[in-house]
């Protein structure tokens, strides 16, 4: 499930290039005092993702939006309830907004579907797979970049999605190939703050096309639409949208 948070610029304000961490902080502040209050300290998958603030706009009074998604409906309910209780302006970093509306959305896939990245997908390839993909690096893992094979990206993406699905549902699934047709858009580099230091994160933008999805594949992809594709979802990466 996802929640569309509709906002208005409370003042004229410049776009904040480092808002990733600040938007994550906004979400963690929302769930403080709920059963998810300690999620930030939890090891492993957090099972939520979020969009950019869109559209780009700096004028006072302009409408803006954020989408927060999770396969955990109770998590989305907790966020929605906290937002409904708010009377004061919303601050995300230096940006200030007025809350105008909240709408919960359940995305359902049909047998034919097109998915697009809302935020970059981040995938790392572990050292044990270097030989398989012809990678020569000294590090224990390497970010997937355009110079690496598409096979490496798709395989790591599928493995990551299957692992998250099994971890969330605590159930086994048939791990058959799910990504057949895809369009690579471009590579991107983002910066995140970790332990007070700025780090580069290498990601990529994609479109995925599916001509026929079985009911099992739809369940897995609907999960991925909410949990996020790839790694670092709770930092704002791998947020996905249904095209059209």
The predicted-structure confidence for 10-25, as pLDDT tens digits, reads as follows: 999 877 666 667 899 9
Task: Say whether pLDDT at 237 is over 90.
Answer: yes
Among residues 8, 13, 33, the alpha carbon closest in space to that of 100 is found at: 8
The predicted-structure confidence for 139-191, as pLDDT tens digits, reads as follows: 899 999 999 999 999 999 999 999 999 999 999 998 999 998 999 999 999 98
Of 52-61, 187-196, 203-212, highest mean pLDDT: 203-212
Cα–Cα dist 221/224, whole Å = 5
**CATH 3.10.129.10 fits domain 2-105:** no
Task: Say whether pLDDT at 194 is over 80.
Answer: no
Q: What whole-number percentage of the chain has pLDDT above 90?
A: 82
Same fold flag, 2-105 and 113-242: yes
Give residue 14's pLDDT: 78
Residue 38: pLDDT band with limits 50, 70, 90: very high
The predicted-structure confidence for 60-109, as pLDDT tens digits, reads as follows: 999 999 999 999 999 999 999 999 999 899 999 888 999 999 999 999 99
Q: Tell me how far CA of residue 187 lies from CA of 98, 104, 143, 151, 236, in angstroms.
A: 34, 31, 11, 16, 16
Q: What is the DSSP letter of 89?
A: P
- 154 or 137, greater pLDDT: 154
Cis previous bond, 174, omega within 30: no
Residue 58: pLDDT band with limits 50, 70, 90: confident
**CATH 1.10.10.10 fits domain 113-242:** no
What are the boundaries of each domain within the chain? Answer: 2-105, 113-242
The predicted-structure confidence for 101-132, as pLDDT tens digits, reads as follows: 999 999 999 999 999 999 999 999 999 999 99
Q: Name residue, tokens 């993909």.
A: 133
Give residue 138's pLDDT: 87
Give residue 137's pLDDT: 86
74-93 as b/e, with b when 16 or more CB fall inside 10 Å? ebbebbbeebeeeeeebebe
Cα–Cα dist 30/24, whole Å = 10
Half-sphere exposure of 210 (CA within 13 A, CB side): 21
Query: DSSP H helical segments within 32-138, as ranges?
Result: 73-85, 130-133
């Amino acid at each position: 499930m996802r929640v569309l948070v509709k906002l208005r610029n409370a003042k004229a304000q410049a776009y904040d290039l480092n808002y990733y961490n600040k938007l994550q902080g906004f979400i963690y502040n929302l769930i403080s005092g709920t059963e998810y209050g300690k999620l930030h300290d939890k090891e492993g998958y957090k099972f939520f993702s979020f969009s950019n603030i869109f559209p780009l706009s700096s004028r006072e009074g302009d409408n803006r939006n954020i989408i927060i998604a999770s396969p955990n409906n109770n998590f989305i309910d907790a966020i929605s309830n906290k937002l409904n209780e708010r009377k004061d302006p919303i601050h995300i970093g230096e940006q200030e907004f007025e809350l105008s509306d909240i709408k919960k959305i359940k995305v359902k896939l049909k047998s034919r579907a097109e998915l697009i990245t809302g935020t970059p997908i981040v995938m790392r390839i572990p050292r044990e797979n270097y030989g398989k993909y012809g990678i020569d690096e000294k590090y224990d893992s390497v970010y997937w970049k355009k110079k690496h094979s598409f096979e490496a990206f798709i395989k790591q993406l599928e493995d990551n999605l299957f692992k998250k699905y099994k971890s969330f549902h605590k159930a086994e699934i048939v791990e058959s190939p799910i990504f057949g047709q895809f369009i690579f858009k471009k590579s991107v580099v983002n910066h995140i703050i970790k332990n007070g230091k700025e780090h580069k994160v290498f990601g990529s933008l994609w479109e995925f096309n599916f001509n026929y999805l079985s009911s099992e594949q739809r369940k897995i992809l609907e999960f991925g639409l909410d949990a996020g594709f790839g790694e670092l979802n709770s930092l704002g990466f791998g947020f996905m949208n249904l095209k059209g």
